[in-house]
Amino acid sequence: MKIAVSLVGSALNAASLLSPRTAGKAALALWRRPMRRGTVRTIERETHDAAVAERLAVNGKDVVTYRWGDGEKPVLMVHGWQSRGSRYAGFVPVLRDLGFSPITFDAPGHGDSGGTSMTILEYEEVIRHLQGRYGCFEAVIAHSFGVPCVFHALRNGVGAGRLVAVSGVAEFGFLVDEFSRQLGLSGRVQQELRRRIEEDLFPHETEIWERFSSVYRPTSLDIPVLVVHDEGDDWVPLEHAHRITAAHKARLVVTRDLGHRGILGQPEVINAAVEFIRPGAVTPSRVTGAG
């Protein structure tokens, strides 16, 4: 896999010497497309199959949504890149016992949903559809790339009582920087990729690198935020959690040896999140902590 990634990066770098525009378009096609779809794990299967599955359309893409319960007191759970809604299976029985209706979805290009790619604006549209169906959310739990997607949706009118941000990306530009680092892209290709994202993917948007970040205009949100991040996260460094925590005056829980992708299923993370959003929970003092 590493050899293949290196070869792709080398090919893009070489192509940029002849045509930066062509190399940038090719890089964009790779950047916006998940390389794999998450499948339902054995440990998730029973919970996944017990959900009420429904469908909605976003930009012509068929999106599958999942609900446990009658829809009252909805808690939205938003997955990250190359993941799927079933990764929240461990949260479902705990939330149901507290009287919540857990709700999640497979984003376009992920899980059982249609399409081959997605954007932060499509995430927002799915979330808006679900709010229109179930009302404002008692809480939202988001993971990884889902975190900036949720912050963007909340800043644009989606309602939620609390937010739990797990392994979240602080700055939107990190997604380009990390993609470029993994492929070993030259500065020329990186610059063209950023331009293609601005002009091809978001032609009607401005200041996307600021506005799509988790730390943008934190004073526009007035809800309690819990940040959970592993100190050894091998994809999103812990410093992102510190930035989100500082911007939103959130509480920070730092875990150990849980990594990036496996953190959602861990009992200590589920318990911390549920304790934060349970009925009657006291709003925590917004200071950095560790656990």
- Tell me what pLDDT residue 21 has: 86
Give the alpha-carbon dihedral of 124, 166, 252, 265, to 10 degrees: 150
Backbone angles phi, psi at 186, to 5 degrees: -75, 165
Q: What confidence tier does 285 reach under pLDDT thresholds 50, 70, 90?
A: very low
Asked if 100 and 51 sit in the same domain, the reply is: yes
Closest CA to 247 of 165, 130, 161: 165
Asked if 45 and 156 sit in the same domain, the reply is: yes
Asked if 247 and 118 sit in the same domain, the reply is: yes
Asked if 148 and 105 sit in the same domain, the reply is: yes
Asked if 79 and 197 sit in the same domain, the reply is: no
pTM: predicted TM-score of the whole model, two decimal places: 0.92
- Tell me what pLDDT residue 8 has: 72
Asked if 67 and 3 sit in the same domain, the reply is: no
Q: What confidence tier does 5 reach under pLDDT thresholds 50, 70, 90?
A: low
The lowest-confidence range among 4-13, 14-23, 63-72, 91-100 is 4-13
Per the prediction, the chain carries an average pLDDT of: 92
Asked if 94 and 164 sit in the same domain, the reply is: yes
Cα(47)–Cα(68) distance, integer angstroms: 9
Residue 289 domain flag: no
The pair of structure tokens assigned to 241 is 């959690």
Provide the b/e sequence for 92-111 (b: ≥16 CB within 10 Å): bebbbeeebbbbbbbbbbbb
Q: How many domains does the chain have?
A: 2
Asked if 63 and 106 sit in the same domain, the reply is: yes
CB 110 within 8 A of CB 146: no
CA geometry: angle 117, 118, 122, nearest 5 deg:
155
Angle at which helices 20-31 and 174-183 cross, to 10°: 110
Identify the domain boundary among 163, 188, 211: 211
Q: How much of the chain exceeds pLDDT 90, in percent?
A: 84
CB 85 within 8 A of CB 106: yes
Cα(62)–Cα(217) distance, integer angstroms: 32
Residue span of the structural domain in which 193 resides = 1-31+173-211
